[in-house]
Amino acid sequence: MHDQSPPSIGEPAPDFIARSTKGQFQLSALRGRWTIFFSHPADFTPVCSTEFVALARRREAFAALDCQLVGLSVDSLYAHIAWARALENLFDVTIDFPVIEDPTMAIGRAYGMIRADATDSMAMRTTFFIDPAGIIRATTCYPHNVGRSADEMLRLLRALQRVDGSDRLVPEGWEPGRPVLLPPDDQPGDAADWFCRFEADN
């Protein structure tokens, strides 16, 4: 990888090859399914530990949506393995998604998770939602001292899949089975709700 502007929504996710807790990993090998690529500042930290446990406990829900979770940290592969084992023993979970090592912060910089001139990874708590074609469809960024919500990650994934290839929109807080939104009417006429029309989701 080389220095470049951080990727944005609608752009291809930069490919990379790196070591992971599941062996050599290449992002483009996941084409054909959804991917949630998320970073964290360091192993053996409190907030990150709670995130990993929550994601591990919801692994079947992500798998049901044909989504692969992929973690990233600047720490070494050996630290990743030791941390995963500690979490499994402490919380009775299975960390079965790959965790990538990024000791040089090259991947974090390529994704704009940290500034090019950063000397540490404190800002790395970013999530990229990548579609089966390898295109970034959504991103979230949290500070190092606030944890992400695994339930919100699932909700956002479901929402992205619902609108994929459709002209329908999803409203605030949408969950499967709730009404969706129609695009604004090009010829509103006398309809008061021309700009905000709901439709039952089948």
Catalytically annotated residues: 48
Burial class of 23 by CB neighbour count within 10 A (0 to 12, 13 to 18, 19+): exposed
Three-state DSSP class for 17?
Answer: strand
Q: Rounded to the nearest 5°, which phi and psi values hold at 55?
A: -65, -40
Residue showing tokens 């979770």: 69
Of 121, 38, 105, 50, the residue nearest 83 (C-alpha) = 50
SS3 47: helix
Looking up tokens 């700009």 gives 195
Q: What is the largest CA-CA distance in the chain?
A: 65
